[in-house]
């Protein structure tokens, strides 16, 4: 099943769920107001410097990645999100081809306490999973937002406690985004969508990395 087919199936499951649709509407409205995503990292800008742990406890830096070749960075929300799980599995599906082309695929999550390793082991052993503790990388890329009330209540009602999962006092999430960065550190391709049910196409990522 293609990623888009899986995402469509997940959307269809929730199409009649009024609370879910209201929550999604609220997120879209929040991000549309004030042009929150206007300042997000754009193509032709340099990808920000970072040093973050991966899920296995090794530190990964932007410069070390660049020394080895181009890479893509995909922001995910967590293992609780079926769209993120689908995206992660799709990344795992192209990991071999990316590697053969000398490129690295990275997923980034704000979750902590071993959750990133669980998510990686369950869905994408072939993908490097970065742990963006306190969402500093998401903030640097301009894709971080404060979870608005209706969505927050919905998640809490499903026992998804973002504050505990992320170790932060406030509920924050990254907009699902994928950035492709080539060897000189510049973003050459980006997928950015306030709608968390939509994600980058793996084929597009591969093409951009080539």
Partner 1 sequence: MDLTQIRYFLALAETLNFTRAADRCNVTQPALTRAVQRLEEELGGALILRERALTQLTEFGRAMLPLLRQTSEAAEAVRSGATGFARRDGPVPLRIGLERCLPVRTLLPLLREVAAHIHQLELILAEDAPDALAEALLAGALDVALLPGMAPLPDRLSRWPLWTQGLAVLLPEGHPLAERAEVPAEALRGEALLPCVSAAAAAAFARIGEAVPLRRAAHAAGSSMGALDALVALGLGLALVPAGAPHGAGCVERPLAGEGMALPVLLAVPAGRPMNPAVAAFVKLARARRWDAPSEAS
How buried is 85 (Cβ within 10 angstroms: 0-12 exposed, 13-18 middle, 19+ buried)?
A: buried
Closer to partner 1 at the Cβ: 16 or 35?
A: 35
> Would you list the DSSP string of 142-165?
T-EEEPPHHHHHHHHHTT--HHHH
Closer to partner 1 at the Cβ: 70 or 142?
A: 142
Tokens 């990254």 belong to 174
Least distance from C-beta 4 to partner 1, angstroms? 29
Least distance from C-beta 191 to partner 1, angstroms? 19
Residue in 60, 30, 65 with CA at minimum distance from that of residue 145: 30
Structure-block tokens of residue 64: 């070390």
Closer to partner 1 at the Cβ: 84 or 137?
A: 137
Closer to partner 1 at the Cβ: 112 or 195?
A: 112
DSSP 77: -
Residue in 194, 148, 171, 185 with CA at minimum distance from that of residue 69: 185
Instruction: Give CA 58 to chain center in angstroms.
Output: 20
Least distance from C-beta 115 to partner 1, angstroms? 8
Least distance from C-beta 141 to partner 1, angstroms? 9
Give, rounded to a whole angstrom, the gap between the first and last alpha carbons of the chain. 24
- Give residues in contact with partner 1 (CB under 8 A): 30-31, 33-36, 38-39, 48-53, 55, 57-59, 61-63, 112-117, 131-137, 139-140, 142, 144-146, 148, 167-170, 172
Closer to partner 1 at the Cβ: 140 or 182?
A: 140
Least distance from C-beta 70 to partner 1, angstroms? 19
């Amino acid at each position: 099943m293609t990623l888009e087919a899986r995402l469509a199936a997940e959307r269809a499951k929730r199409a009649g769920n009024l609370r879910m649709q209201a929550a999604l509407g609220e997120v879209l409205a929040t991000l549309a107001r004030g042009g929150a995503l206007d300042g997000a990292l754009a193509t032709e800008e340099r990808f920000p410097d970072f040093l973050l742990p991966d899920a296995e406890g090794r530190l990964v830096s932007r410069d070390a990645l660049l020394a080895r070749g181009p890479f893509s960075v995909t922001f995910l929300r967590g293992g609780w999100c079926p769209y993120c799980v689908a995206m992660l599995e799709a990344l795992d599906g192209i990991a071999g081809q990316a590697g053969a082309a000398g490129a690295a695929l990275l997923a980034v999550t704000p979750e902590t306490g071993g959750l990133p390793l669980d998510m990686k082991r369950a869905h994408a052993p072939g993908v490097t999973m970065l742990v963006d503790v306190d969402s500093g990388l998401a903030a640097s890329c301009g894709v971080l937002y404060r979870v608005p009330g209706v969505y927050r209540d919905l998640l809490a009602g499903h026992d998804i406690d973002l504050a505990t999962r992320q170790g932060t006092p406030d509920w924050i999430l990254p907009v699902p985004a994928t950035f492709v960065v080539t060897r000189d550190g510049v973003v050459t391709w980006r997928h950015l969508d306030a709608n968390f049910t939509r994600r980058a196409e793996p084929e597009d990522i591969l093409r951009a990395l080539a």
